[in-house]
Amino acid sequence: MSGYRLSPNAPGGSQIDRSKPLDFTFDGEAYEGFAGDTLASALLASSVDLYGRSFKYHRPRGLLSAGVEEPNALVTLGSGARSEPNTRATVVELFDGLEAKSQNRWPSLGFDVMAVNGLAGPILSAGFYYKTFMGPTAKAWMFYEHFIRKAAGLGAGTKLPDPDRYEEMNAFCDVLVVGSGPAGLMAALTAAGSGARVVLADEQAALGGNLRGSGLSHDLLAKLSAHDGVTLLPRTTVYGYYDDNTLGAVERVADHLPVPAEGQPRERHWTIRAREVVLATGAIERPIVFGDNDKPGVMLADAGRLYVERHGVAPGRQVALFTNNDGAYRSVAALAAAGISIAAIVDARAQISPAARSIADAAGAELLLGQAVTRALGGQQLSGIAVATYDAAAGTSVGTARTIAADCLLVSGGWTPTIHLASQAGGTARWDETLTAFLPGAAHQPWRAAGACNGSLGTAASLAEGAQAGAEAARACGFASSPVSLPAATDEPLADAPLPVWDARPKGGKGKAFVDLQHDVTASDVALAHREGFRSVEHLKRYTTLGMATDQGKTSNIIGLALMARERQLSIPEVGTTRFRPPYTPVSLGALAGQARGGHFRPTRRTALHDWHIANGAEMVEAGLWLRPRIYRQGNETVEQAYVREARQVRESVGMVDVSTLGKIDVQGPDASEFLNRVYSNGFLKLPEGKARYGLMLREDGFLWDDGTTWRLSETQFLMTTTTANAAPVLSQLEFLLAAVWPEMKVAVTSVTEQWAGMAVSGPKSREVLAAALDGIDMSNEALPFMGVRKGHLNGVPVLVARLSFSGELAYEVYCGAHHGESVWTRILEAGKPFGMIPYGVEALGTLRIEKGHVAGPELDGRTTAEDLGLASMVSTKKPFIGSSMYQREGLTDPARLKLVGFVSAKGDKIRPGAHLVSAGDTASPPKSLGHITSTTYSPALEKYIALGLLEDGPNRIGETLVATYPLKNIDVEVEVVSSHFFDPDGSRMHV
Amino acid sequence: MLIPCPHCGPRDLGEFTYGGDATKDRPDPDRATAEDWNDYVFHRDNPRGRHAEYWHHGQGCRLWLKVTRDTVTHKIEGAETVGPAKREGTPS
């Protein structure tokens, strides 16, 4: 394309400021443009022809459009952490110092070795990858995939963290107007005039749409700005239409700047809840298919006009037009007015309007009626076109072609209304025979369409429709309409109704004929899909990937449907269309993530003792949202040395661990004990006051769900504890049962997890420590027996003390109000000083419980039953409870189920959690899995590596030797099957 | 999607958790057969159109709601609290 910048004296260039030159680079080469240019217009002004290589065939590609629909000119912007691939050069606003690189070419844009794919064209047709590389085994695809992905593709993203900030906004308005062309401006003005709160959003750099730069748009925008309660959002794409009239939009706050200003977000995501929506989203011009229609130099007709009128750039020196409608003559008029030579006008219609003819005459262009362009000629750049007679009845060219020299061909195949948002909102598109296009269907949500989006392509009609839509929307919100005078605009003498011309080639015409330029889908791919039976629009789309590129087929979908309709000998509406999905144009992940990144991705929960842990050298570990001390490392201990030391100290003397993260639910009411009795699998009716009981909860399907101790504080009050992970789901389930299943029960449940700080004091010296720390509680075995609960005080602070043991040692849990947590914790540690008391972390906690064979999260994995884990005696057969019926079903009582057992490493090797258990002599690949390892530790008590695991027929295999295998790391460890109660199996230590 | 919570007013979907089909009643454990339990635990219709569902307002009043919703259009007809004190909400 021999584009060039028009002289300042020529009409046009409304958006650029020639007094503000900007420097930028493309593929390392320096260029100059003006403020108000897009990257595309500035490159076109510098006579750049090549913008990228195509996805599959690596064919050279130029500019097709001047807007968001651009399929070809995708570039990578910026460098380093701000590098952004696949941006459309046609919508990138130029700034000083902009760096852009072309994509999908190697070694350079001008010379691409992969272009040889184009020679292999026939074999790279639709479904080629599936047919060739998927069979006969999956391994073939695994081998080829890497090479294929490298050869076919778009730009590469950066792996560096995003340095920019993104904001989230929630907006509420009466009327949201999407699009600020004539219809959108009038809709916003009319609604605002009635008193409605209006948001007007437009994806372009300035408001005005097709009126951008005109006196009319200045007038209307000035009037609009005078209204209070109007929010104008330029550079804002409304990309998604969701339920309850909620729309998603992204405002590009700083993408037109080299870097965002201090404190400025790069993009702002808007969630807009509108009572009424006016869709004034315009229409997108579509091309016509002919041979080599992807040749650089082939451009949409209206894009040619926009480059002249907005940017003062001529798309070529010898321009031809190929059209099937009158509207495209506007482009001829604009180019001719700017002094650009029009070589020929090729119009497929035999008759055109007098207005069109006078434009052609004024331009001095040769007018070829009833003819069509059959092929684009030239090498990497258009040098001419082949033109032949068009047989409208047959829908194909006939006869011999004549050649006309041209360096730019403007093409118009008519207009496709932008119905994406309407389609997302649920309306089924309706076919319009005059425009040969789909229009918005019936609205399921409160929106109305106006202007080109609604099929009214003329300015006067759009203004009127916009005003009406704005008035109706305001009225629907309850505002009395106030009349707004329509600006004077004469209706276009150039009607946009096209002659349906989809594929202008003669039968057997030469050259590749592209339907979807971005995904390299050709007309023959559509025919192939039809031959191979992929005929429904959904199959066509998936088999050929038509419309599935980043442009979502904005210029190609309708042509694809038309070609399939031709193959099937049906009408286009009979073939149908696919439904549009969000987003309308690509949305950056940063905008969607907003502030929810890094540590702000989700909340962090800290216990009341958190600061003490940090101050005392704890290394913290995540447990769900919680942070818990993992170990309190001393010197240069390893993790294993630290937890072994901590666990040993507990068994030998005494230690204390923060258990505040356990879920705690206050259960109160006259029916509380009956309620618990139905919720737990074991009995709770007869639990006496001042006693705690370990309970199991099942799911309705009979599997084990959660465990914990529940303490009876009074006749009608219990304190239930749950596992850390299930605290929230258990509360929700209890609330559900009380609301939906047993509404007659008088019970209230409340989460008190964060109200209590909890600490477990464990070890043979724990009784002496607490006797010294607490204010006069009788700690004797008689006064506070195993599972006993007492209320008391510590330094005057009210506490609950329960004699519970997770470690297998004599142990107590002390609960106090969260705000007293640290004072109670430090007082107990002080009392423990004479015994060498230490704090211990969750690693040692795990070691101690594994040595005892107590189950925790890794064993309660949602696939195990109480019986699997050796807890069958905790499941009552005398009462119904949640899960009682399903617990008995066949699959759960199958003797072949995996059962909990213990393992000891036979040769002193570490055992990996997740390792599978196999027979030592099993040489099959892979060997038969007999079960798996769930929890592992080094046991200071046994001085061996031990593990818990689930094993087929486990209890009957005790004494056998198996292999715990971890093929991903090639680790095999010989293990001996033992009872899961490694240490003190009769529990004598905790009953002292 | 906005759910008209009878206690809190219309609230965004993000505050709620889906609780499943509200047309199933838990069988009476004294009389139910294995088939009854099988049906209650595992069998769910997948209706096109009007459907009664449980939703839990976990990030709000913590009440369980029975919501009548069209599974095609997502339009919500109304919501009522589940439990002893029944209250109703209608979309604004």
Domain extents in chain B: 2-89
pLDDT 10s digits, A726-769: 999 999 999 999 999 999 999 999 999 999 999 999 999 999 99
- Please tell me the pTM assigned to this model: 0.89
Superfamily covering domain A610-661+755-840? Probable tRNA modification gtpase trme; domain 1 (3.30.1360.120)
Q: At CA A145, angle to CA A140 and CA A148, rounded to 5? A: 125
What does each C-alpha distance from A738 to A403, A663, A667, A826 come to in angstroms? 83, 19, 11, 40
CB contacts, 8 Å: B34 with chain A? 885, 889
pLDDT 10s digits, A667-715: 999 999 999 999 999 999 999 999 999 999 999 999 999 999 999 999 9
Report the distance separating Cα A18 and Cα A312, nearest Å: 10
Instruction: Identify which of B54, B74, B83 has the shortest CB distance to residue A743.
Output: B83
Asked if A732 lies within 8 A of B56 by C-beta distance, the reply is: yes
Asked if B42 lies within 8 A of A701 by C-beta distance, the reply is: yes
Residue A137: what pLDDT? 55
Asked if B81 lies within 8 A of A739 by C-beta distance, the reply is: yes
How large is the average pLDDT for residues A718-728?
Answer: 96
How large is the average pLDDT for residues A621-650?
Answer: 97
Asked if A740 lies within 8 A of B54 by C-beta distance, the reply is: yes
List the beta bridge partners of residue A250: A237, A269
Whether the per-residue pLDDT at A139 is higher than 70: the answer is no
Q: Of A646 and A115, which is predicted with more confidence?
A: A646
Whether the CB-CB separation of A710 and A720 falls below 8 Å is answered with yes
- The count of other CB atoms within 10 Å of the CB of residue A568 is 13
CATH code reported for the domain at A849-878+891-991: 2.40.30.110
How large is the average pLDDT for residues A353-382?
Answer: 95
List the beta bridge partners of residue A623: A626
Q: Can you give the residue ranges of every domain in chain A?
A: 166-283+417-476, 511-575, 610-661+755-840, 663-751, 849-878+891-991
- The count of other CB atoms within 10 Å of the CB of residue B36 is 15
CATH code reported for the domain at A511-575: 1.10.10.1100
Question: At A649, which helix (H) or strand (E)?
Answer: helix A639-652
Asked if the bond preceding A926 is cis, omega within 30° of 0, the reply is: yes
Task: Report residue A477 as tokens.
Answer: 């919100």
Asked if B56 lies within 8 A of A243 by C-beta distance, the reply is: no
Q: What is the 3-state secondary structure (H, E, C) of A950-980?
A: EEECHHHHCCCEEEEEEHHHCEEEEEEEECC
Which residues fall within 8 angstroms of residue A26, CB to CB, at 6 or more apart?
Answer: A39, A43, A48, A75, A100, A101, A102
Asked if the bond preceding B47 is cis, omega within 30° of 0, the reply is: no
Q: Whose CA is closest to A644, among A945, A855, A871?
A: A945
pLDDT 10s digits, A216-262: 999 999 999 999 999 999 999 999 999 999 999 999 999 999 999 99
Asked if the bond preceding A483 is cis, omega within 30° of 0, the reply is: no
CATH code reported for the domain at A166-283+417-476: 3.50.50.60
- For CA atoms B78, B79, B84, B85, the dihedral sign is negative
Question: How many cross-chain Cβ pairs, A to B, lie less than 8 Å apart?
Answer: 54
Whether the CB-CB separation of A964 and A912 falls below 8 Å is answered with yes
Which residues fall within 8 angstroms of residue A457, CB to CB, at 6 or more apart?
Answer: A283, A327, A415, A435, A492, A496
Using 50, 70 and 90 to split pLDDT, how confident is the model at A495?
Answer: confident
Task: Report residue B87 as tokens.
Answer: 């209250």
Asked if A728 lies within 8 A of B58 by C-beta distance, the reply is: yes
Domain B2-89 has what CATH class?
alpha beta
Fold (topology level) of A663-751: Alpha-Beta Plaits (3.30.70)
Whether the per-residue pLDDT at A148 is higher than 70: the answer is no
Average pLDDT, rounded, for chain A: 94
Task: Give the lowest-confidence range in A155-169, A465-479, A813-827.
Answer: A155-169
How large is the average pLDDT for residues A953-974?
Answer: 95
Report the percentage of chain A scoring pLDDT > 70.
Answer: 95
Distance from CA of B84 to the nearest CA of A (A): 5
pLDDT 10s digits, A306-355: 999 999 999 999 999 999 999 999 999 999 999 999 999 999 999 999 99
Residue B85: what pLDDT? 72
Asked if B82 lies within 8 A of A885 by C-beta distance, the reply is: no
Report the distance separating Cα A519 and Cα A223, nearest Å: 44
CB contacts, 8 Å: B64 with chain A? 735-736, 739-740
Report the distance separating Cα A159 and Cα A136, nearest Å: 35
Q: Whose CA is closest to A279, among A211, A202, A197?
A: A202
Identify the residue among B17, B23, B70, B74 best suited for mutation to test binding to A, counting A beta carbons within 10 A and taking the highest: B74
